[in-house]
Amino acid sequence: MSSQNNQFPVYQVPNHPSDQLKVVLDYFDKLKHWDFDSLSKLSTSDFTQQTLPASLGLAARTKSEDIEFLHGFRDSLNSAQLQISIYEVNENKGRIWVHLCMETVKTEAFFNFTFGTGKDKNLVVNLTEFVDSKVYAGDSSGDSSGSSSGNAQQEMPIQAPST
């Protein structure tokens, strides 16, 4: 699922996005600029984050664990601004799927935002990210042979590819 070979049209934000879509777009804007304080205000206190596929063996993270993880991700990129292109958005009541490319780390991903209810209807309660497991594990070669070192994956930020 490496992005080097795929070109998708960039998503066009509607003239009147829903309140929940505004939160999702704000999330990516804050993430691109490493604005962790603002990011944390977009989710509920019981927010959880899960990275898939399950074969990566990563445990779900709490809100504070996710912010800590994002700090490490930023540090692994030497604080470089993320370049994110959104290709598709699928919005249903209380849930938004986003297909995107993070050019900074040369990978595609799917993000599923689940929103709360009632007073929390415009806050994210869960974020599930489906990532390219080869890139996440540090192999951005595009080799899809399925070979693996057999070692269990440790949770670590995606590393910027060497140039």
pLDDT at 144 over 50: no
The count of domains in the chain is 1
Q: State whether residue 4 is helix, strand or coil.
A: helix
Per-residue pLDDT, averaged over 50-68, amounts to 94
Give the DSSP H or E segment for 61. Answer: strand 61-62
Of the candidates 86, 96, 82, the one whose C-alpha atom is nearest the C-alpha of residue 127 is 96
pTM of structure: 0.79
* The pLDDT of residue 104: 86
CATH number at residue 131: 3.10.450.50
Domain that holds residue 88: 3-11+22-136
If phi > 0 it is left, if psi is from -120 to 50 it is alpha, else beta; for residue 96 that is beta
- Cβ(103)–Cβ(84) below 8 Å: yes
On whether residue 153 sits in a domain, the answer given is no
71: in domain: yes
Considering the domain boundaries, does residue 117 fall inside one?
yes
Q: Is residue 157 in some structural domain?
A: no
Averaged confidence pLDDT in the chain: 83
- Is 108 in contact with 1 (CB distance < 8 Å)? yes
Q: Mean per-residue pLDDT for 68-86?
A: 93
pLDDT in the model for residue 132: 82
Mean pLDDT along residues 37-57? 95
In a domain, 156, yes or no: no
pLDDT 10s digits, 24-34: 999 999 999 99
SS3 content of the chain, % helix, strand, coil (to 5): 30, 30, 40
Q: Which residue has the higher pLDDT, 103 or 114?
A: 114
